[in-house]
């Protein structure tokens, strides 16, 4: 436990100090009318209209509806985290970073749902409907567990593998030199660093 905590703190320090710009994940939500709405910023905002195909679109979902949706997602996160023995705060932080808990999220690369599963990864994990919140969260948590086991419970490396693929982490012998991946790891570690329950668990 001490070594893992020490490793996490070192990586947190490096990424908090070394990278200051926000990652741009290009994640979208497909609305019923077929429009793609960028949700790379926190979803369900009420202070501004999202951009739809280069123009201002309709307002985001009401806060009350958003809260209900997020609570439902977090319930599935709690269940999946317990099932796979992954810290709930870690799964929650990944879900937030990937999609802002949005089950309709769709990236430009084709990743889908709350945990942004690629189609091939979803199939390998037995996820039949990536836009189903329960299936998506279970699949994403199972994949995160695989990466933690693969990289000796080293959280930053597991996160890098979740984002860029385990092959890239192995190839570079650590977090790949991809700005998006480096920002991704930094931002999740930063989010976790504010969670005392997570620090106690790792």
User: What DSSP letter does each residue of the chain carry, written as one string?
Assistant: -HHHHHHHHHHHHHHHHH--SPP---EEEE-TTS-EEE-SSPSS-SSSPPEETTEE-PPPPPHHHHHHHHHHHHHHHHHHHHHHT--HHHHHHHHHHHHTT-TTEEETT--BTTTTB-HHHHHHTT-S-TTSHHHHHHHHHHHHHHHHHHTTT-HHHHHHHHHH-HHHHHHHTSS-S-HHHHHHHHHHHHHHHT-HHHHHH-
Is 134 one of the catalytic residues?
no
**Annotated catalytic residue: which of 98, 134, 149, 180?**
98
Catalytic residue IDs: 98
């Amino acid at each position: 436990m001490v070594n893992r905590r020490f490793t996490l703190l070192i990586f947190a320090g490096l990424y908090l100090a070394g990278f200051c710009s926000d990652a741009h994940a290009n994640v979208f939500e497909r609305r019923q009318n077929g429009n793609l709405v960028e949700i790379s910023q926190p979803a369900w905002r009420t202070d501004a209209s999202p951009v739809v195909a280069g123009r201002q679109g309709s307002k985001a979902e009401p806060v009350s509806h958003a809260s209900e949706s997020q609570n439902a997602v977090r319930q599935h996160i709690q269940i999946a985290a317990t099932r796979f023995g992954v810290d709930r705060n870690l799964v929650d932080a990944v879900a937030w970073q990937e999609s802002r808990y949005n089950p309709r999220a769709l990236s430009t690369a084709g990743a889908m749902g709350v945990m942004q599963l690629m189609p091939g990864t979803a199939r390998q994990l037995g996820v039949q409907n990536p836009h189903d919140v329960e299936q998506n969260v279970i699949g994403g948590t199972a994949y995160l567990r695989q990466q933690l086991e693969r990289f000796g419970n080293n959280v930053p490396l597991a996160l890098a593998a979740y984002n860029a693929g385990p092959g890239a982490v192995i190839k570079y012998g650590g977090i790949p030199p991809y700005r998006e991946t480096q920002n991704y790891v930094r931002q999740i570690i930063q989010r976790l660093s504010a969670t005392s329950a997570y620090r106690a668990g790792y």
